[in-house]
Every structure is written in C-alpha cells, then in structure tokens.
Amino acid sequence: MDGYAVHDGSTKADQQLTVVGESRAGAGFSGRLQPGEAIRIFTGAPMPKGADRVIMQEYAMQEGDTVRFAEGYGPGWHVREAGSDFSAGDLLLDVGTRLGSRAIVAAAAADQAMLKVSAQPTVAIIGTGDELAPPGEAHLRADAIPESVTYGIAALAEQAGARAVARMIGEDSLPALERLAGDMLDQADVVIVTGGASVGERDFAKPMFAPHGMKLLFSKVAMKPGKPVWLGRAKGKWVLGLPGNPTSAMVTARLFLHALLAGLQGQSITQVLQWRALPLACQMAATGGRETFIRARWDADGLRSLSNQDSGVQLALAQADWLIRSAPNSPALDVGGMVTALEF
C-alpha cells in the first residue's frame, strides 16, 4: 500500500513521527528504521529494516518532515511476508507440467531464466483406404466415404500437446504406401496409421513400414473396441497403428496415443489417464472376455452408457464424453453401481 512504514510496537495514533526517507519499488530505503521514525513507502516497495507495518496514507497527516496518524488505522498491516507465495526449495512446477501462460508466470517469478523442457512432439497421420475421400468430396464419387478419423486424431494429438505436421490419405497400393511411410517418418516423431491392420490382401498398415526397418512392439490388444491397435519403432520414430473404425480409432488414441505423447513430454501416464470411480445412472450389461471400454455421457444422476456401442458409429462418438472401463467377464451392474471411468 502507499503510506508509511513504521514499527508497530512503538507507534500510536496522533503520535508525531519523523519521516527519515522513502522506499519505492526498485529503490528501497538503505538504512534502518528507529523508534519514533517513519518511512514514506509506495506499493511494491521493499519493507525497510526495522519496520513491520504500513499505515495507509489515507490515515496520515504529514507536515514537513513529520507525520501523524488518525485513530482507526488498523487492523491491516499491509505487508506481504517473505515466502508467503513460495520459498527457496519449494517445488513450483512438477515434471511434465505443460508450460501454459500461468505456469510460465510462476517460473519467471522464481527468477529462472532457463528451464529444462521436452520438445513438442510432432505427429503425422495416414488414413488408409481407396474408399476414403476428403469431407465435402465423398458424394462426388461412387463407393467413396468421407475420411473423418485423421481429423479427430490430429485434434486429439494437438490437445495432448503435440503438433500435427501432416495428415494424408494413402491409397491401397503397397509401393505407394511404403514411399508415404518413409516421407512421414522423415517429418514426424510419431507416425499414426489408421486402418489396414487386418490380414486381408489389401491390409498394408504394417507391411508399409517393413522397408524402413520397423520393429513391432505389440500387434494387438485384448480390448473392445480396438483389438487391432499396434505399436512399433522405425528409423528411430514411433509408429502407432489404430483401427479404421472411427470409434475404435478414437478410443485407442485416447488410451495409447495420449499415453505415448505424455511420455515424450516428460509426463507420467497417471497425469493423462486419470481414472475415477463414478456411479451409473443406468443398468449396464455384463461384458465378455475382453476388457471393454463403454462410451457414456454424464448426466445429473451419473454415467449413462450410450445405446449404440458399434465401433463404426460417429454420431454416438460425438455424444460420448466418458469411457467406462469394464474388466473381462464383468457381471451386469444396476443403477447406482460404481464404475471406473475416464474423461473422453
């Protein structure tokens, strides 16, 4: 506050004090305050040695080099104590913290000119299939369908802190896909390919990376939806294969791509996959032998699973905002039953 710095124990209302100097932001009072003295002080200035209180100027009556204070100048002391925000040795930003606007303020306030950071991951996305056409063009060609998945994957990747540098549609030609795979590996830290993961004659998602020395880390997962999800390494880059069905692709991207991008940015999986125990607002059927991720919406009574759980639907995908995680062979649950869920 603008006012006068005093020593509270030796200051009373209507007492005449000698003003011996001033303290301004960036230019503090270099001496030490003695009993019977006051120092003119301004907002943001350092407290002079010997002072422990600031009396607002609204209560002050200065005449020459003396000042008196009216009754009622308390009870506020108008002093920010050293360490009241943070102290030496405090953890300000945990490992994996995204450097948004507020985090950067905290780092700069700690007088840190340099921070150790992880580079922003880059991703390239390839949608495979001769049937795919850009949105707005599918109706112009017989047997075409709008390509939708790569748009969602790109948005999800950027929400997770990555930068999408390429998004391509690959035709069902192995030589063409091999060339495209090589180009994308040269451009991005993570290459994501959707579809083409089965064993049909035109399923080239894995073979397209063979000339680039891909080492497969896992080839499928016992989950529903999303069994065909796979992960590999090629040319020192990550290659993530997602199913072609939109819901399967987005569910597996939320679980696997989010986790992968978290690791590349110094985060832990628990920072991005925060499972919560929540009540059901509807009955839920028993699940089969695979771990199942059920799309659901939150309403006032709890989670309500969507009626259409088909892996290819896209309207229900837009309506879902939670994933319910159900262990293999889980029994049916009634309304009010507790489930494990993840924001979708």
Q: Output the pLDDT for position 163.
A: 97
- Residue 283 domain-assigned (yes or no): yes
Domain boundary residue, one of 233, 248, 269: 269
Mean pLDDT of the chain: 95
The string over 271-286, giving b where at least 16 C-beta atoms fall within 10 Å of a residue's C-beta and e elsewhere, is bbeeeeebebbbebee
Can you read off the two tokens belonging to residue 296?
């659901």
Asked if residue 134 and residue 93 are part of one domain, the reply reads no
Asked if residue 140 and residue 64 are part of one domain, the reply reads no
Asked if residue 258 and residue 140 are part of one domain, the reply reads yes
Angle at alpha carbon of residue 126, lines to 125 and 129, rounded to 5°: 150
Specify the CATH number for the domain of residue 257: 3.40.980.10
Domain boundary residue, one of 254, 269, 284: 269
Asked if residue 113 and residue 129 are part of one domain, the reply reads no
Specify the CATH number for the domain of residue 301: 2.40.340.10
Asked if residue 215 and residue 264 are part of one domain, the reply reads yes
Q: How many domains, in total, are found in the chain?
A: 4
Domain boundary residue, one of 269, 300, 324: 269
Q: What is the DSSP letter of 241?
A: E
Share of the chain above pLDDT 70, in %: 99
Asked if residue 182 and residue 282 are part of one domain, the reply reads no
Read off the pLDDT of residues 136-177 as tens digits, 9 standing for 90 and up: 999 999 999 999 999 999 999 999 999 999 999 999 999 999
Asked if residue 108 and residue 15 are part of one domain, the reply reads no
CA distance 250 to 341: 16
- Contact between 193 and 262 under an 8 Å Cβ cutoff? The reply is no
Asked if residue 251 and residue 175 are part of one domain, the reply reads yes
Asked if residue 264 and residue 183 are part of one domain, the reply reads yes
**Res. 203 pLDDT band, cuts 50 70 90:** confident
- Residue 76 domain-assigned (yes or no): no
Read off the pLDDT of residues 107-119 as tens digits, 9 standing for 90 and up: 999 999 999 999 9
pLDDT at residue 237 greater than cutoff 70: yes
Q: Output the pLDDT for position 202.
A: 72
Q: Output the pLDDT for position 211.
A: 98
Read off the pLDDT of residues 208-223 as tens digits, 9 standing for 90 and up: 999 999 999 999 999 9
Within 8 A by CB and 6+ apart from 246, the residues are 148, 149, 152, 311, 312, 313, 314, 317
- Residue 78 domain-assigned (yes or no): no
Asked if residue 320 and residue 282 are part of one domain, the reply reads yes
- Residue 110 domain-assigned (yes or no): yes
- Residue 80 domain-assigned (yes or no): no
- Residue 77 domain-assigned (yes or no): no
Asked if residue 314 and residue 260 are part of one domain, the reply reads no
- Residue 74 domain-assigned (yes or no): no
pLDDT at residue 74 greater than cutoff 90: no
Read off the pLDDT of residues 77-92 as tens digits, 9 standing for 90 and up: 999 999 999 999 999 9
Share of the chain above pLDDT 90, in %: 93
**Residue range of the domain that includes 106:** 86-117
- Residue 75 domain-assigned (yes or no): no
**Res. 298 pLDDT band, cuts 50 70 90:** very high
pLDDT at residue 199 greater than cutoff 70: no
Asked if residue 251 and residue 135 are part of one domain, the reply reads yes
Strand 190-194 with 237-242, pairing? parallel
- Contact between 220 and 229 under an 8 Å Cβ cutoff? The reply is yes
Reading phi first (left if > 0) and then psi (alpha if -120 to 50, else beta), residue 107 is in alpha
Q: Output the pLDDT for position 201.
A: 66
Q: Structure pTM?
A: 0.81
**Res. 341 pLDDT band, cuts 50 70 90:** very high
Specify the CATH number for the domain of residue 19: 2.170.190.11
